[in-house]
Amino acid sequence: MSPLPDPLVAGDPIAAVPQWTLDLRLALIGPGGLMEDTGWRPITVRSGYTTPITPEVRRIGKVLYFRGSISGPFAVNTSAAVADLPAGFIGPDSSRTVVTTGAYVGYANLSPSGALAFMFRSPYTGTSATVMLAGLSGITVD
């Protein structure tokens, strides 16, 4: 009995993969799958704020990852909506507040509409700042 031809050599790598494996992969990472990856998408920054490093977000499954930065005016103990995530990135029942630490303690809030807001707390006394978004990575959404 001769061995089956190697599908990689024959030029058809998919032929070697059992159908149940392909179905499982699609259920995990396909559209609407548990591990669907949106890829990096731009974050729309609101008027009055600048982007020293282009702000972007991606969702893998239910976890958000951020990169880039947003600069602008921030006042102590005042929430400022600075940007909006692309449509569909968080569900209508999602709202997340994350305590951030660094030079100043503050909050980042994601509203169900996808609005991203920051608030700095004391001892912050400045009038402007740059927020590095990578610190928000790992937020889970519904």
Alpha helix locations (H) across 1-136?
A: 7-10, 19-29
The listed CATH number (1.10.730.10, 2.60.40.2460, 3.40.50.1240, 2.60.40.10) that belongs to domain 41-140 = 2.60.40.2460
Considering the entire predicted model, what is its pTM? 0.69
Burial (CB count within 10 angstroms: exposed 0-12, middle 13-18, buried 19+), residue 132: middle
The residue ranges of every structural domain in the chain are 1-36, 41-140
Q: Count of H helices and E strands in the chain?
A: 2, 11
Alpha helix locations (H) across the chain?
A: 7-10, 19-29
pLDDT of residue 50: 94
The answer to whether 120 and 83 are in contact (CB under 8 A) is: no
pLDDT tens digits for range 60-102: 888 889 999 998 888 788 888 999 999 877 766 666 666 665 5
3-state SS, residue 135: helix
